[in-house]
Structure 1
Amino acid sequence: MAHEAQVRYSKLVDLKLRATLVKKVGVICNNRYEGSPKAGSVKVPVRDTEVAVNDYNKQTGAELTGGDTTYLTVNIDKDKAVNEIIDGFDAASVPDDLVADRLDSAGYSLALQVDSDGSVELTTAGTAFGTTTALTEKTIYGNVVDARTKLSTVHVPTEGRWLLVSPEIYGLLLKSPEFIKASDLGDAVVQTGAVGRIAGFTVFEDSTLGEGVEYIAGHPNWFAFIDEWAVPVHVQDLNGSSKYIGASAVKGRKVYAFKVTKPQTILIKKKA
């Protein structure tokens, strides 16, 4: 029974983390890499050139061309843990509710931490875009259209483009007639955590972008996320320890890393 409970607890935390996390794999980032994160580093592919298309001749065939895919070594530099004591008397006072609440909180807190670390990588390794003049209701749509055009000039696919926006910018978008709310786009969009679409971007509200960042525009092809649980979140009985009597703890550990592989495909709009 204890094992079944631990499995249930881990699933609860994982579900909460996935539901809260803005930077979801396959939507905002990719997890294409070679090697094991537990080894301390992995190799992330960077598609430097696209496969060339040549004319075909029935007699001579087509000329051979070379491609260029390099691999970046990415160190797994994030190692985060939760380790919170739950007093036995407190837990007994509110049977399963206190434990469930702290597990829920663990999933929520870990998601915010992961999102924050992803934002740091994006803003550090991406490319500054436009001026530092704050966006307004009148200028926001034109600015986002300019970002769309900029990504097209560096051959970022139109399908899958995303826009991470601060809560303030999301507020401006809600007042923009060009903004299409997620509720009008169908369940598939809503399930990704999107709040809408504008100028070809799927929009996500992200409260972890950092001070002065209004939005970040990009595509999952060039933003890698390498993650793995080292120790799944669980409830551990502390009886038998030298200090705690009748207590337990919510414990868990996560190792991961983010990597922008092409700075020109990530645009950061900041205000002064």
Structure 2
Amino acid sequence: MRLISFVHDERSSWGAVADGIIYDLGHPAVGRFPDLKSFIAAGMPTDLLRHTAAPSLRFDAVTLAPVIPNPDKIVMAAVNYWDGPPDPDKAPPYPVLFLRLPCSQIAHGAALIQPRSSQKLDFEGELAVIIGKGGRHISEPQAMRHVAGYSIYNDGSVRDWQKHSHQFTPGKNFTGTGAFGPWMVAADDLPIAQSGVSMVTRVNGVEKQRTDTSRMIFDIPYLISYISTFAPLVPGDVIVTGTCTGFGTTRQPPEFLRPGDVVEVEIAGIGVLSNTVAAEE
């Protein structure tokens, strides 16, 4: 099951994707849930997916939105993949986490904005986890029961602003830098906990990052448990699980994005998130 958020005729909505068609499940004719987050909070009732009153739309008739346009919180993990063989003795004691603002997000196909104040816009391909069932103090063995699904994130980072201090907030929250899409794949359709899936980032068709989600240092159950210890998770929350090496700052010489570049993040079983870089007007 693939679920998507979009705008059609100036109306924000959401729906299911099948055979290249969007079924508008937020349409007034259906009328049960105004957005994808509320559908997730209701437990994703499958009877709605068979609703015959839902209009069908072509992709070229809508403007895509970030998968969850209105999350209560977006919690991001910093670099979270082993470069070489996993070595528990070399693992950091805790993950590095920071928050991203929902207003910094953009959809699949939207412009990734290079700000006027910096020439150091970087890319980070990551797996996004969407919370379906809220909770506090969630144990690791129970954590996957709280996952509604998965999507793709490009954590566009303005590196010089990120390093103004030891706090990541400025460089991780520029307008138009958090690409999120194209859709959510239901957790039952992508058993990441049982086996990892490949993740590749390309810039202008050239591979820059490649890893497998099984190589996370702090895995999904751990992140859910750790985060829920200090903040209650609610349906629609997004946990972005970190990136591997190969992003621009780690390359020699460093490589940063420029207007006209095309960044693609591909995760097996989900699809491709694609964004073209544009200069801030």
TM range (shorter): under 0.3
- TM-score, normalising length from structure 1? 0.24
More strand per residue: 2
Task: State the structure with more CA Rg.
Answer: 1
More helix per residue: 1
- TM-score, normalising length from structure 2? 0.23
